[in-house]
Structure 1
């Protein structure tokens, strides 16, 4: 993958950058809706603009759950690799693809398929979980981006800067 293609692939992730208000609807194996929970998802570029950090603060069934995920370009140049860290000590690895407005994440026992709205301010989709050899619907998620946080990006090299000395890139 050329440097330009890598920068473009990272730039496509800018659609995620910002804070999102999330509604989570649990689904039983037949797809019937269950408990409804709320979360805040925050996506921020890490210094240097090579990794996108995703923090989750959720309240599910009265319990506060926090997790963190790092998203990076896949080593083979095809899509993205992600690693999530859950509050119970679980670490999960996933591969992800962003094709147009479709965002797909696939791991060994969980997968997600979602679609961004035309303006990029909403993402809706479903998580599934593997039960033996069968994939079962797990939850539906609807994310709405807070307009005042979009985008917050260091992804494009032209926008990268030294955050220790400067908040905005200097113009020449």
Structure 2
């Protein structure tokens, strides 16, 4: 087969795909449970999550501020679209020095994050006012244990 007669492969339009991220844009209050890193017990937690477009419109910036008991956790996530692989990605950085990359897929309002040691389902409600955020972690890719289960409620559309 020569290049002149090669089949045309259609790829998703990155601009159109990026618009799906509008589901997150705004400020959210989160409330739920999370595994305490010290005791491994599930404890109450709350958060403020803020999503906004980075100038240029190719990425969104997600900042979070979590409180679990007297502990605080803060971080930054950058979400974008990889046209070559036809999926989203997320790079997370936190105040504990962690850096993690996730493959992210959206289908029907459910966003699936897949990483080496963590995975998540984020379910956006049909009215766009809440997101259920459930994470699990593993040490061996076989046994998964709950990490957190949080409901975010939108407080500001940006």
**Contact (CA 8 Å) 2:14, 2:83: kept in 1 or not?**
no
Cα shift at 1:86: 1.1
1:1-172 equivalences in 2 (<5 Å) = 5-26=13-34, 34-132=42-140, 133-146=142-155, 149-150=156-157, 152=158
Unaligned runs of 5+ in 2: 1-9
Structure whose residues are more often strand by fraction = 2
1:77 is displaced (CA, Å) by 4.1
What's the secondary structure of 1:10's corresponding residue? helix
Tell me how large the CA RMSD over aligned residues is: 1.9
- Contact residue 84 and residue 93 of structure 1 kept, 8 A: yes
- 2:6 is matched with none
> Could you state the TM-score of these two structures normalised by the residue count of structure 1?
0.77
The total of aligned residue pairs comes to 144
Deviation at 1:90, TM superposition (A): 1.1
Counterparts of 2:45 and 2:109 in 1: how far apart (Å)?
Answer: 25
Unaligned stretches of 5+ residues in structure 1:
153-172
Give the secondary-structure state (helix, strand or coil) at the position aligned to 1:9.
helix
Aligned partners of 1:10 and 1:52: how far apart in 2? 9
Ranges of 4+ aligned residues in structure 1 off by more than 6 Å: none
